[in-house]
Amino acid sequence: MKTILFADALTPAGLLPNAAIVISADGIIETVASTGQVWRGNAGAVWDFSGCVASPGWVDVQINGAFGLDFTENPDSIWEVARKLPRFGTTAFLPTIITSPAEVAQRGMDVLRRGVPYGWRGAKPLGLHLEGPFLNPAKKGAHNPQYLRQAEEDSLQQWSLANGVRLVTLAPELPGGLQAVSQLRAQGVAVSAGHSLANWEQAKAGFNAGIGSVTHLFNAMPSLEHRAPGLVGAALTDERVIAGLIADGIHAHPAMAALAWKMKGAKGMALVTDAMAALGMPPGVYRLGDFDVTVDETSARLADGTLAGSILNQEQALQNMMAFTGEAVENILPALGSTPARLAGLEEYGQIIPGNPANITVVNRAGQVKKVILAGKPF
């Protein structure tokens, strides 16, 4: 039987108030129309969330793990984390493997190639995000310098969309960086600039070569400076580039997050969590790759105080950006759904339109998740 969801619907054309979203028995969106145009009697079930907003399902393009599990330490944990992520509004994600030996990325590819475990439901892994190892050692952050290296053609051969790699973060100013961008794009992989000392000219060269986003804007890159705008300035002023932002108020001051929002808006910003194993867990010591990370109520840090991912979830990121910018919830929501989907090369994924799978996150006007729908079924 069909299901009808009543809510304000966030569509590619904008917010459609008092909408009815008709979902087929096999989980496909059939109709998106004004409430008065849809007859309730056609439905086997009705979900009435009048006054709330139905958003395209949220996509987290940078998440290192959660619920005590770290993807780099154990790529087999991807499906277990995915099973629980929808509680935060996330319907799809890019499991992120940070700088590590080459066999770790290969294990991640193998996990995705084996496919969905029997009886599993959860947020859908859309492909790996490989953050490193082609990063600038001077901006390594919480990455193990032992494994950092320069990009070479042979090392990139297996990193293709066909093999389950969807996004790679690298430093474009490194020797071989621009060639790596071209090779990865030819292999169907999106490329992001991060952990980088790129100046303005090097950043622009990277964007011209095919880099489409910047990984955790402001972090692991030189600060915005009026005589040397660098990667931050280049990203903020280039309409081709989507800026990933960790909106926890720690990785970037709320005022800087608001400044970035004024420059990029919802179509140019992807709210990421960069969450690590401590997401969904109490304070304590958790792993991120090779390192122990001490986690308190608000942040995750190495022994020397370096930020090591976050404990942010997407629901909290939405609420934080509403507070930082003063924007209404419907204005922030594309930065959680349609824009990160576009960053990952999946623009069609993040849209509430007929013919698409019904992956929908419903929130109230305060940004609280009220319902998550995965392929037409409630989570």
pLDDT per residue as tens digits for the range 265-282? 999 999 999 999 999 999
Residue 318 falls inside a structural domain: yes
In a domain, 349, yes or no: no
348 in any annotated domain? no
Domain check: are 28 and 173 in the same one?
no
What is the pLDDT at residue 347?
A: 82
Exactly one of 76, 154, 274, 292 is catalytic; which is it? 274
Please give the pLDDT value at position 155: 81
84 part of a folded domain: yes
Res. 41: pLDDT tops 90? no
Mean pLDDT, the chain, as a whole number?
95
* 3-class secondary-structure state, position 58: strand
- The CATH number linked to 39 is 2.30.40.10
233: domain CATH number?
3.20.20.140
Provide the pLDDT for residue 38.
64
Q: Are 359 and 373 in contact (CB under 8 A)?
A: yes
Residue 350 has pLDDT above 90, yes or no: no
Tell me, yes or no, whether 71 and 41 share the same domain: no
Per-residue pLDDT band at 44 (split at 50, 70, 90): confident
295 lies in the same domain as 201: yes
Same domain (yes/no): 8, 150: no
Question: What are the tokens at 118?
Answer: 């029997």
User: Residue 274 catalytic?
Assistant: yes
**Is the same domain home to 68 and 205?**
yes
Q: What is the DSSP letter of 145?
A: G
The reply to whether 93 and 223 lie within a common domain is: yes
Does a structural domain hold residue 154?
yes
Assess whether pLDDT exceeds 70 at residue 120: yes
Asked if 246 and 265 sit in the same domain, the reply is: yes
46, 62: one domain: no
Q: What is the DSSP letter of 90?
A: E
Residues 68 and 165 in one domain: yes
Per-residue pLDDT, 286: 95
- Please report the pLDDT score of residue 40 as a whole number: 64
For the segment 180-191, the average pLDDT, to the nearest whole number, is: 98
Q: What is the distance between the alpha carbons of residues 80 and 282, in angstroms, rounded to a whole number?
A: 18
Residue 41 lies in a domain: yes
pLDDT band at residue 168 using 50, 70 and 90 as cut-offs: very high
Q: Amino acid letter at 84?
A: K
Instruction: Tell me the residue range of the domain where 34 lies.
Output: 2-55+354-378
What pLDDT, on the 0 to 100 scale, is given for residue 260? 98
pLDDT of residue 1: 79
Q: Is residue 238 part of a domain?
A: yes
CB 28 within 8 A of CB 357: yes
